Chains A and B, each alone.
Chain A
């Protein structure tokens, strides 16, 4: 096709911006970074506007056979589109949130812009190896962001983040090599239709699982996440929670499910088991945290468990619900980390016990924080509700027990989030410093207000976000239909009453 290569341009803009940031001084770097991310956001809006909902499955395709064995092949479907939108939406906000960074600003901004390019690359890649390169390369900027600009324990956290994720990924690489050897192509859309031998599928699935489970993260390989979150600078946490975790879910929906449908069905019990443990266990852990970021990090693990449960429901509700949970969590957890960042910048502590009664001196902050807390809990009218409801409705068709246990996550979620909110925003003002903190400044409004608007939009009219992916989800469901395990809810049609009697009954 001879159209404007918008995806390549979206990759190139942050890269060029990143190089420019390295050369400029701190002020220029901030301006360049904001400019580059805004340009990318504008391109993202254009991408969505031009995306033909209900049209071809793969759009904006580009293919340059530049390399040996793989090619520069990009293209998106509705699923990738939404995740790219999430990335480009959060990036300018991250740049705004990095005001407190005062050392090595140029390098910091360059790392973030590189991260943005790699994230877009992950979602847009249509070549298996190209995907791997983007997926894996994302470790580099994040390692630097945590290690250079992180908190006191940053070194340990950065190593843990890097090595954990790397170990998972190399297994996936070997599986990819085997797949390409077997199928003879690196083209992702083709591979999504290719039927691997069921015995081999099991191994391939496990190898991909090793990578995505760590990235997601699922219990028990989630332990890198709280460390990474707590030590990362605010914007690093935002990107980590907002987009990087979604790569795991994206991996499941793009690779594990359509490429290995048989193995996905066979190993559904594994996903269910780990997710159920995660929902209950990490929610309970979140309940006892005294560090705000750690609490939100654990809540992320619990939310991601709902995503995996929904994905392995093998039906439209579950899959669409999981996508919405991912998008919603991307917005809400990002916003919550920003909220933590707002007060951290003022008081330089994340200990919950240092705060209290912020609703008195920071009413607007308390209002927005309340909105995001409610969205995280899943209050109807916010984005959280839509996703969680759909995923749980999806899994209920498959297994009522899993649905039952997962739903406790909502209750526990309400418990730890509301408890957090009460301790921070309500009660008496125990700490004079905290009581003297000023309310939101315009820059912070600019960061939080767009996310609040998006959260409400997604909560009130989710169809805008569901529409682009309907047909893609249906394609996956069709692919899974042959192998999906039977659900435990064995509905039986009741015997219809004769017409006359029904009317007679209705007459009462």
Chain B
């Protein structure tokens, strides 16, 4: 009975691993372009099915004992379900945009969807983990797939470089994380989140605090928060754009959700200890992300710094250490994912008439006159990222600031809000180049229809129409975030 329930709770993961293995075997035979496309579509279907399996847990607000599987190693609760749904959407988008890009380089191989599926599987385990070991297994499964994906465009040196950098630094971060986990285990005597939380009630020993710091540092690398952000611009620039889209969206959701669970569930009783760390990391990420982006000419690098900046804002929600703060982070993530996917899809659509990818700031000069709809799409995403109302990106910033203010951290909200003005500068710069400058007329290539549709739907979501979903979104995120907190 127990096993049946465990298998039922882990159904989405089981589905994804089965499909992943089957497609992997299939891809050994199917190496033509058509096969790769078919496998890509099958992977998208698998993600849709996984989403359908996952959704009820969120809908019913499953939590606590009822959600635990495999003797408390995994939890299929509403929080995990929310994060997984976002991950599936992001991963599906990254799959959909891939063929048009890779086929230009004759590099559309069926391993791409398979690797994405395995990465997604790892992420699903990450966000459901209620135990340090499952956490690590999920994280590594995701990371190993990601290292390969970063280097996927074999002929491109930058891609290989990105893969290597990602691997070396990622391995270092995993080491830091493991070290922190071992300290935590040593000083609490358990690797289960509930046990750690119980052991850390009251005054925590120095060793346990060291463990906490190292665990958070390792996770900060994964979410590319300052001061562990250095790899991000290089990897984002070097990796093939569909892979960058994937990196900037799905793993970010997974790592942030994981950080939330670790901080609020495992170390929830020591909130005062990590709130300072998270506050510093949040502010540093916002400021470094904003300042770093100012000088960038490469659009992918610019969006990489922008993602560092955005992570900073999300961490403001975590720093408030309340249910509202956690819900605010989830709201931010829900808006951030379409925003960032839209941004990278717009970059994918910048092609010259030979179909070569363009990604320099100078290439989009005067885009509003040569490609008005593309400029409008990218422009709304930029305004939205800058957090200017009435674009929907404002709502994400709004809720995290609100949670910080309600938690009595007015200073944090004030500093973060002021730093957001620095960030606005470089988003405006993109707009300035597109709308104010004379046309460079370099973006002449035709866009793929899937890209157009994706960009259009992202742009509609970040438009003021997005506000209409705020009611439902608030209810869902509050349910999901509530899982991380003991019932009052």
Q: What is A's interface to B at a CB cutoff of 8 Å?
A: 66-69, 104, 107, 129, 132-134, 136-137, 139-140, 143-144, 147-148, 154-155, 158-159, 162-163, 166-167, 170-171, 173-174, 177-178, 181
Q: How far is the CB of A388 from chain B (nearest CB, A)?
A: 35
Quick check: B388 and A69 within 8 Å, CB to CB?
no
Cβ of B420 within 8 Å of any chain A Cβ, yes or no, is yes
Pairwise interchain contact B383-A140, C-beta atoms closer than 8 A: yes
A133 with B468: CB separation less than 8 A: no
The bracket for how many chain B residues form the interface is: 20 to 34
B468 and A66 form a contact (CB under 8 A): yes
CB contact under 8 A between A155 and B436, given known A132-B389, A181-B406: yes
6 contacts between A and B (CB under 8 A): A68-B474, A136-B389, A140-B388, A177-B406, A178-B410, A181-B405
Query: Does B425 reach chain A (CB closer than 8 Å)?
Result: yes
CB nearest neighbor in A for B415: A174
Instruction: Find chain B residues with CB under 8 A from A140 CB.
Output: 383, 388
Question: Using Cβ atoms and an 8 Å threshold, which residues of chain A touch B425?
Answer: 159, 163
Cβ–Cβ contact B435 & A69, under 8 A: no
With A137-B389, A155-B432, A170-B421 already in contact, the answer to whether A67 and B405 are too (CB < 8 A) is no
- A174 in contact with B436 (CB, 8 Å): no
> In angstroms, how far is the closest chain B Cβ from the Cβ of A451?
31
**B435 adjacent to A144 (CB under 8 Å):** yes
- Give, as a whole number of angstroms, the nearest-CB distance from A342 to chain B: 26
Q: Do A167 and B418 touch across chains, with their CB atoms under 8 A apart?
A: yes
A177-B402, A181-B406 given; A133·B389 CB < 8 A: yes
Expressed in whole angstroms, the Cα–Cα distance for A144 and B417 within the complex equals 23
B405:A178 contact, CB within 8 angstroms:
yes
Chain B 350-382 per-residue mask, 1 if CB under 8 angstroms from chain A, else 0: 000000000000000000110000000000000
Instruction: Tell me the nearest residue of chain A to B422, going by C-beta.
Output: A163
Instruction: Say whether B41 faces chain A, with CB atoms less than 8 Å apart.
Output: no
B470 at the interface (CB under 8 A from A): yes
A181 — which chain B residues lie within 8 A by C-beta? 402, 405-406
- Write out the residue numbers on chain B whose beta carbons fall within 8 Å of the beta carbon of A171: 414, 417-418
Q: List A contacts of B410 (CB < 8 A).
A: 174, 178
The residue on B at minimum CB distance from A137 is B390
Note all chain B residues with C-beta closer than 8 A to A162: 424, 428
Determine if B167 is an interface residue (Cβ-Cβ < 8 Å): no
Taking CB atoms, residues of chain A closer than 8 Å to B417 are 170-171, 173-174
Pick from A67, A132, A134, A136: contact of B467, CB under 8 Å: A67
Q: Complex Cα distance A129/B398, Å?
A: 10
Instruction: A129 to B468: give the CA distance in the assembly, Å.
Output: 15
The residue that A170 contacts in the complex, of B418, B432, B436, B467, with Cβ under 8 A, is B418
Chain B, range 397-412, C-beta contacts under 8 Å to A: 398, 401-402, 405-406, 410
Q: Which residues of B are interface residues toward A (Cβ below 8 A)?
A: 368-369, 383, 388-390, 394, 398, 401-402, 405-406, 410, 413-414, 417-418, 420-421, 424-425, 428, 431-432, 435-436, 467-468, 470-471, 473-474
User: Min CB distance, A383 to chain B, in Å?
Assistant: 34
Q: Which residue of A lies closest to B429 (CB)?
A: A159
CA distance A132 to B435 in the complex (A): 26
Q: Which residue of A lies closest to B383 (CB)?
A: A140
**A132-B394 Cα distance, complex, nearest whole Å:** 11
Of B383, B390, B414, B420, the contact of A133 (CB 8 Å cutoff): B390
- A144: chain B residues at CB < 8 Å are 435
Task: Please report whether the interface of chain A is mostly helix, strand, loop or mixed according to DSSP.
Answer: helix
Between B421, B467, B471, B473, the greatest number of chain A beta carbons within 10 A of the residue's beta carbon is seen for B421
B36 smallest CB distance to A (angstroms): 39
A199 to chain B, nearest CB (A): 13
On whether A159 and B428 interact (CB within 8 A), knowing A147-B435, A173-B401, the answer reads: yes
For A107, what are the chain B residues with a Cβ–Cβ distance below 8 Å? 368
The answer to whether B435 and A148 touch across the interface, beta carbons within 8 angstroms, is yes
List B contacts of A139 (CB < 8 A).
388
Which chain B residues border A166 with CB–CB below 8 Å?
Answer: 388, 421, 424
B340 → A minimal CB distance (Å): 21
Interface centre among B413, B414, B420, B474 (most CB of A within 10 A): B414
A-B pairs under 8 A by CB, number: 84
Central interface residue in B383, B435, B436, B470, by most chain A CB within 10 Å: B436
Looking across the interface, which residue of chain B has its beta carbon closest to that of A159? Answer: B428
- Complex Cα gap A157–B414 (Å): 26
How far apart are the CA atoms of A107 and B431 in the complex, in Å?
15
User: Could you say which residues of chain B place their CB within 8 Å of the CB of A133?
Assistant: 389-390, 394
From known contacts A140-B383, A181-B405, infer whether A147 and B436 are also in contact, taking CB-CB under 8 Å: yes
Interface centre among A133, A163, A174 (most CB of B within 10 A): A174
Residue of B nearest to A121 (CB): B390
Per CB-CB distance, the 9 closest pairs between chain A and chain B, nearest first, are: A68-B474, A68-B470, A170-B417, A133-B389, A177-B405, A137-B390, A147-B436, A68-B471, A167-B421
Given contacts A133-B394, A147-B436, A178-B405, contact A67 B470 (CB under 8 A): yes
- For the complex with contacts A136-B394, A177-B413, 15 further pairs of A-B residues with Cβ separation under 8 Å are A67-B467, A68-B470, A68-B473, A137-B390, A143-B431, A147-B435, A147-B436, A155-B432, A159-B428, A163-B425, A166-B421, A170-B420, A170-B421, A174-B405, A181-B406
* Set of chain B residues within 8 Å of A136, measured between Cβ atoms: 388-389, 394
Instruction: Give the docked Cα–Cα distance between A22 and B390 (Å).
Output: 19
Interface pair B388/A137, CB less than 8 Å apart? yes
**Chain A contacts for B388, CB-based, 8 A:** 136-137, 139-140, 166
For residue A118, which residue of chain B has the nearest CB?
A: B390
Which chain B positions have C-beta within 8 A of A129? Answer: 398
A106 CB, min distance to chain B CBs, angstroms: 10
Q: B residues within 8 A CB of A148?
A: 435-436
Report the Cα distance A67→B398, complex, angstroms: 13
Tell me, rounded to whole Å, the shortest Cβ–Cβ distance linking A236 to chain B: 14
Query: Which chain A residue lies CB-closest to B401?
Result: A177
With A104-B369, A140-B383, A177-B402 as known contacts, state yes or no: A147 contacts B432, CB within 8 Å: yes
Q: Which of A159, A167, A174 contacts B401 (CB 8 A)?
A: A174
Q: Which B residues lie within 8 Å of A177 (CB)?
A: 401-402, 405-406, 413
Task: Please report the C-alpha to C-alpha distance between residue A138 and residue B151 in the assembled complex, in whole angstroms.
Answer: 44
CA distance A170 to B474 in the complex (A): 23
Residues of chain A lying within 8 A (CB to CB) of residue B394: 133, 136
Which residues of chain A are near B435, meaning CB under 8 Å? 144, 147-148
Chain B nearest CB from A70 CB (Å) reads 9
Count chain A CB atoms within 10 A of each CB in B389, B405, B436 and give the residue with the most. B389
Kindly identify which residue among B369, B389, B421, B470 contacts A163, using a CB–CB cutoff of 8 Å.
B421
Bound complex: CA A167 to CA B419 (Å): 9
Measured CA separation A178–B428 after assembly (Å): 28
| Residue numbers in A under 8 Å from B414 (CB-CB) | 171, 174
Residues of B within 8 A of A174 (CB): 401, 405, 410, 413-414, 417
Residues in A with CB closer than 8 Å to B431 are 143
Complex CA distance for A171 and B420, rounded to whole angstroms: 11
Q: A163 — which chain B residues lie within 8 A by C-beta?
A: 421, 424-425, 428
A158–B436 CB distance below 8 A: yes
Residues in chain A near residue B368, CB distance under 8 A: 107
Query: How far apart are B392's CB and chain A's nearest CB, in angstroms?
Result: 11
A1 to chain B, nearest CB (A): 23
> Chain A CB within 10 Å — which of B401, B431, B432 has the most?
B432
Question: In the complex, which residues of chain A have a beta carbon less than 8 angstroms from the beta carbon of B413?
Answer: 174, 177
* Residue in chain B with minimal CB distance to A173: B417
Q: Across the two chains, which residue of chain B brings its CB closest to A178?
A: B405
**Cα-based distance from A148 to B473 in the complex (angstroms):** 37
Residues of A within 8 A of B389 (CB): 132-133, 136-137
* A contact residues around B424 at 8 Å (CB): 162-163, 166
Given contacts A163-B421, A174-B414, contact A66 B474 (CB under 8 A): no
Selected contact of B428 from candidates A132, A137, A143, CB within 8 Å: A143
A167 to B377 alpha-carbon distance, docked (Å): 25
A163–B398 Cα distance when bound, in Å, is 18
Q: How far is the CB of B166 from chain A (nearest CB, A)?
A: 35
A144 CA to B432 CA in the complex, in Å? 9
CA distance A140 to B386 in the complex (A): 11
Q: How far is the CB of B262 from chain A (nearest CB, A)?
A: 28
